[in-house]
Amino acid sequence: MSPMELIIEERVRRVKKAKRSVEEERRETVKRWQRLWSQSNKEKWTRKLIPGVPPWYYKAHEEINHFLTLLLTGHGDFNQYLYRIGKIPSAMCQCGSEIETAKRLFLECERRRSERENMKLKIGLDINTDEIEGHMIRTEKQWDAVSEFATRVLKKKMNEARTINA
């Protein structure tokens, strides 16, 4: 979904310029969205994973689920975030080597190696942050593999946290 202000602008343009089709106006909205996205200094992790708006907007694969949203945004039950808001006493990853960020949990943490290896097998090659976006949107199978990986890793992390806090 496009940012709300762009959708409103699009609807205004459609009313004022009835000559253009809905598809033409939507293409213009996606172009504007890309310009805003490219100029933003926010959400560097998300922009690394999704450098281009059009491929994501026009993809024909699945919807983005809750766990994939957490991976893409870096918001959620990641220790760096939980520590910053005062929910936990340390930002360190459970493996103890570095601060736990979305990037670390999904692409580097040794505790998540088996899930990551399973995803790599399904995608067909080894990946890093620079490559994951292209693989996610290339095929539905690859999209599903990354989405399943995000779901498994975050559910496992949540279950571990419940066990520790019980």
Tell me the C-alpha distance between 157 and 94, whole Å.
9
How is 109-163 classified by DSSP, letter by letter?
-GGGHHHHHHHHHHHTS---HHHHHHHHHH-HHHHHHHHHHHHHHHHHHHHHHHH
- pLDDT tens track, the chain, 166 positions: 468 888 888 888 888 876 778 888 889 899 999 998 888 887 777 877 777 888 878 775 667 889 988 888 888 888 998 898 898 899 998 888 899 998 888 888 888 888 888 888 887 766 665 666 666 777 788 888 888 888 999 998 888 777 766 5
Smallest CA-to-CA distance from 113 within 101, 126, 130, 123 is with 126
Query: How far is the C-alpha of 122 from the C-alpha of 141, rounded, in Å?
Result: 8
